[in-house]
Amino acid sequence: MDEWMNRDWRGTLLRQAAALLGACLLVGLVTGEYGWALALGLGLQVAWTTRQLLRLRTWLQTQRLDEPPPESHGLWGDVLDNLYHLQRRHQRARDRLQAVIDRVQESTTALKDAVVLLDSDGNLEWWNPAAETLLGLKTSHDSGQPVGNLIRHPRFKEYVEQANYREPLDLPSPLSDRLRLQFHFTRYGNGEHLMLVRDVTRLHQLEQMRKDFVANVSHELRTPLTVIAGYLETLIDNAEDVNPRWRRPLQQMQQQAGRMQNLLNDLLLLAKLEATDYPSDNQPVHMEPLLRSIKADALALSAQRAHRFTLDVEPGIDLKGSEAELRSAFSNLVFNAVKYTPDQGEIRIRWWGDEQGAHLAVQDSGIGIEARHLPRLTERFYRVDSSRASATGGTGLGLAIVKHVLLRHRGRLDISSVPNHGSTFTCHFPPAQIARQAS
């Protein structure tokens, strides 16, 4: 194509030059002044070329490029025609792209979920109308603002800083506490982010109803159960007044009432843990005395079963949080080790710190757990073997409580186990959760 155009241009040029030269020769022949005729011809050519250039410049300057360029002929006509075609091609490509953009914008406008584009610095770049209703973004004010200026919840800030977007984030809307939103972040391009926000108010309400129901039932059952357990205890204490045939049933009733009380206590504790995101306490919890007292309780629980305990505590490292919650989580792990380790087995409790944070490991030489159960172990009422549970009197809620307490202390639980060789439950806490004692 280029070669063809070059050849054609060359012909046109030659033809024009020949016509000019011919005209000059003719004028020279008539006037006898060949030199002047040539100079006049060249002058006219320069003047015409300059005029075409000026027309092109004016056309380019007016920026009305959708209008055809000025008419011309010869080489200039070619140049202007080619410019015009090029420009029409660009125009068509731009129209096609604009149509694609319009369609994408139309479809995101129709979405009920908010779609927000953030640039690599986390500033708001573009959003759909749903973002205005869910998050209250306003085009005139908020374009180019850091997203953290508009969603000021501390958990949002922490989530964005940690940049771990595997799990979505649930938060109340900045517009109203009654609106519950779920944030999904996706990284794309050059460090830019796509933020998808869904209204999960209905789901949240259902979840809340479930939690309230469990908490209320547990609460309501507590008083009648306390009365029943109290009378059973009185009857058993006065065993001589009771028909001997009733002694064993009474003891079994007392045992089961005790289990029910443990269950209700655990359910109430879980409901309390779920009610807020973070513990109300954020005091340094001294780990050494806490672990010593848990070990003493575990020794009492082990009693005749003569487990061998070791406790290694790295001094000077404490945790920020709620002592009551941490005690409950750590004792659950240690008591499980006692429950699921045969007599005379070994139980090792270790607390240490490193650059990744602080860690508590509870290791036992007990019956262990098959790998297939490990991912589900922290689910409520999940039991490896229901006969084990009735033998040990467990509620099936212990590890669910551990998981919740750890979440509230920004920690996580790691479980490794080999059947018949033992298990290790390790709690990992990030450096931000450590309170170091001044030495």
H or E segment at 4? helix 2-31
Give the full edge-to-edge strand order of the sheet including 192-199.
124-127, 114-118, 192-199, 180-188, 169-172
**Nearest approach, Cβ of residue 245 and ligand ADP (Å):** 32
Stretch that binds ligand ADP, among 17-25, 108-116, 320-328, 391-399 (CB under 6 A): 391-399
55 vs 383, beta carbon nearer ligand ADP: 383
The smaller minimum CB distance to ligand ADP, of residues 184 and 383, is found at 383
Q: Is 340 in the site for ligand ADP (CB under 6 A)?
A: yes
**Measured distance CA(272)–CA(418) in Å, rounded:** 33
379-402: b or e for each residue (b if 16 or more CB lie within 10 Å)? eeeebbeeeebeeeebbebbbbbb
Q: Rounded CA gap, 85 and 388, in Å?
A: 83
The full DSSP string for 65-97 is: TTSPPPP--HHHHHHHHHHHHHHHHHHHHHHHH
Q: Minimum CB separation from ligand ADP for residue 176, in Å?
A: 37
- The residue among 37 and 397 lying less far from ligand ADP, judged by its C-beta, is 397
Cβ of residue 344: shortest distance to ligand ADP, in angstroms?
A: 16
Q: Which is nearer to ligand ADP, 380 or 410 (CB)?
A: 380
For residue 387, give both structure tokens. 């006969």
Among 399, 406, 413, 427, binds ligand ADP (CB under 6 A): 399
Q: Is 345 in the site for ligand ADP (CB under 6 A)?
A: no
Binding mask of the shown chain, residues 350 to 389, with x at each position contacting ligand ADP by CB under 6 A: --------------x-xxxx-------x-----xx---xx
The count of chain residues that interact with ligand ADP, using the rule CB under 6 A, is 21
Measured distance CA(225)–CA(260) in Å, rounded: 8
Cβ proximity to ligand ADP, 129 vs 396, nearer residue: 396
- 396 contributes a contact to ligand ADP by CB under 6 A: yes
CA angle 404, 270, 179 (to 5 degrees): 80
We find the least distance from the C-beta atom of residue 338 to ligand ADP, in angstroms, to be 9
Q: Locate tokens 């807020």: which residue?
A: 276
- For ligand ADP, the closer of residues 227 and 391 by Cβ is 391
Q: Which of the stretches 46-54, 75-83, 249-257, 394-402 binds ligand ADP when contact is defined by CB under 6 A? A: 394-402
User: Nearest distance from residue 328's CB to ligand ADP, in Å?
Assistant: 12
Stretch of 6-14, 72-80, 313-321, 335-343 lying at the interface with ligand ADP (CB under 6 A): 335-343
Q: Of the two residues 31 and 255, which places its CB atom closer to ligand ADP in the complex? A: 255
**CB of residue 98 to ligand ADP, shortest distance in Å:** 59
In whole angstroms, how close is the CB of 257 to ligand ADP at the nearest point?
Answer: 17
Long-range Cβ contact pairs of 296-299 (< 8 A, separation 24 or more): 297/331, 297/334, 297/335, 298/331, 298/334, 298/335, 298/337, 298/338, 298/347
Contact, 377 vs 340, CB < 8 A? no
Provide the residue type at 247 as one letter.
R
Candidates 76, 336, 365, 413; binder of ligand ADP (CB under 6 A) is 336
Dist CA 15 CA 4 (whole Å) = 17
Rule CB under 6 A: say whether 284 interacts with ligand ADP: no
* Cβ distance to ligand ADP smaller for residue 171 or 337: 337
Cα angle at 83 between 79 and 86, to 5 degrees? 140
Binding positions for ligand ADP, 400-429, rule CB under 6 A: 423
Query: Three-state SS for 217?
Result: helix
394: contact with ligand ADP by CB under 6 A = yes
Which of 160, 146, 106, 276 lies closest to 208 in space, CA to CA?
276
Phi, psi (5° rounding) for residue 128? Answer: -95, 170
CB of 377 to ligand ADP, least distance (A): 5
Report, in Å, the least distance between residue 193 CB and ligand ADP: 38
**Least Å from the CB of residue 339 to ligand ADP:** 6
Site string for ligand ADP, 292-331 (x = CB under 6 A): ----------------------------------------
Q: How far apart are CA 150 and CA 120, in angstroms?
A: 17
Distance separating alpha carbons of residues 32 and 64, to the nearest angstrom: 48
Given the rule CB under 6 A, which residues bind ligand ADP?
Answer: 332, 336-337, 340, 364, 366-369, 377, 383-384, 388-389, 394-399, 423
